[in-house]
């Protein structure tokens, strides 16, 4: 039984490595042989193995991720044309993009932008009437020589934009629903720490624990959502089984610190996107966002840094 479990974990590890490769190269053409090589499987069996674990063939997965990334850009990068976004997301033919986008979202890309924008404006008007006191205001911090934001948002403790260095992380990945599932997160953290503890990988001044979100829950259906529970590790760390390893590249992030109960996380994320971004002069950049946990939770409260990559608007 243990041997079967270890074998399955090895399969998952190889497929996770392939998912990381796809995500890092989503704008480039990829072949089945190339992906099979990354996974270290025969190209004759790779397609079936991938589908059995992920629930989609490799090229169904690639197409969906490209379309969902394009949908997110259409909403956040309003100064870019749909053609520019399509090319950036790996489509070399705008007609192929348009046909697949309409098939996936049941609406043309241009209509998707208009519909979502109108809905967002209505929601923002309702939100403004309730949350005008939560609007952030920038100020210059002489001590750190940087811009920070003052807020009256009760759950928020601080907001700043800063460069984060490249991080190598060990992770356990989950595909499927996760919102509000405390037991799921607890189980994954326990498994990750049980692996890391005996290897001396927990603690130290640069140690960080974080949860990376690979998909936008407003775009991707729950059954396909991917998230990775992570800890930072030295770059040379060897991983095995269900524990994978990836790099989070150096980038500029907005880091918004909150004190939250389990039910407050969605409100905090909504505030970052709905209140901070529209007044900040920034827009989300094309990299995964994550939650970072600088402290242990106490009395059911979590100190959480919501980290979203940014670029000038």
pLDDT at residue 181, rounded to an integer: 86
Distances (CA, A) of 28 to 94, 120, 272: 15, 32, 31
pLDDT > 90: what percent of the chain? Answer: 65
Q: Of 273, 282, 293, 256, nearest to 150 (Cα)? A: 256
Summarised one tens digit per residue, pLDDT across range 24-41 is: 999 999 999 999 999 999
Phi, psi of 91 (to 5 degrees): -95, 125
State the pLDDT confidence band at 283, using cuts at 50, 70 and 90.
Answer: confident
Q: Are 166 and 247 in contact (CB under 8 A)?
A: yes
List helix spans (H) across the chain.
Answer: 2-24, 32-39, 43-54, 58-76, 82-88, 94-105, 109-131, 182-196, 265-271, 277-280
pLDDT > 70: what percent of the chain? Answer: 92
State the pLDDT confidence band at 279, using cuts at 50, 70 and 90.
Answer: confident
Phi, psi of 255 (to 5 degrees): -120, 110
- pLDDT of 61 strictly over 60: yes
pLDDT at residue 77, rounded to an integer: 80
Q: Of 244, 152, 266, nearest to 191 (Cα)? A: 244
- Mean pLDDT, the chain, as a whole number? 89
Place of tokens 């094309």: 286
Q: What is the token pair recorded at 77? A: 């990068």
Determine if residue 37 is left, alpha or beta; phi over 0 gives left, psi from -120 to 50 gives alpha, anything else beta.
alpha
- pLDDT of 131 strictly over 70: no
Higher pLDDT, 129 or 303: 303
pLDDT at residue 4, rounded to an integer: 62
State the pLDDT confidence band at 114, using cuts at 50, 70 and 90.
Answer: confident
Rounded mean pLDDT of 60-76? 93
- pLDDT of 83 strictly over 60: yes
């Amino acid at each position: 039984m243990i041997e079967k479990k270890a074998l399955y974990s090895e399969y998952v590890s190889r497929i996770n490595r392939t998912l990381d490769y796809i995500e890092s190269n989503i704008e480039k053409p990829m072949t089945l042989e190339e992906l099979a090589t990354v996974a270290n499987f025969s190209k004759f069996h790779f397609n079936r193995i991938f589908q059995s674990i992920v629930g989609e063939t490799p090229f169904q997965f690639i197409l969906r991720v490209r379309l969902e990334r394009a949908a997110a850009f259409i909403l956040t990068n309003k100064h870019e044309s749909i053609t520019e976004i399509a090319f950036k997301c790996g489509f070399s033919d705008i007609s192929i993009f348009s046909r697949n986008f309409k098939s996936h979202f049941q609406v043309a890309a241009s209509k998707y932008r208009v519909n979502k924008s109108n809905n967002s404006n209505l929601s923002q008007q309702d939100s403004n009437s309730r949350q005008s006191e939560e609007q952030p205001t920038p100020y210059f911090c002489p001590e750190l020589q940087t811009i920070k934001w003052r807020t009256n948002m009760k759950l928020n403790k601080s907001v700043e934009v800063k460069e984060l260095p490249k991080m190598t992380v060990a992770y356990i990945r989950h595909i499927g629903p996760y919102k509000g599932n405390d037991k799921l997160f607890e189980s994954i953290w326990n498994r990750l720490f049980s692996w890391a503890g005996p290897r001396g990988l927990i603690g130290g001044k640069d140690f960080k624990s974080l949860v990376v979100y690979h998909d936008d829950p407003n775009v991707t259906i729950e059954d396909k959502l991917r998230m990775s529970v992570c800890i930072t590790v030295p770059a040379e760390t060897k991983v095995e089984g269900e524990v994978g390893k990836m790099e989070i590249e150096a980038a500029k992030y907005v880091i918004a610190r909150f004190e939250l109960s389990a039910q407050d996380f969605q409100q905090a994320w909504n505030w970052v996107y709905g209140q901070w971004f529209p007044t900040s002069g920034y827009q989300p950049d094309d990299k995964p966002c994550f939650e970072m946990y600088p402290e242990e939770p106490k009395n059911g409260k979590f100190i959480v840094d919501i980290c979203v990559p940014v670029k000038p608007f």
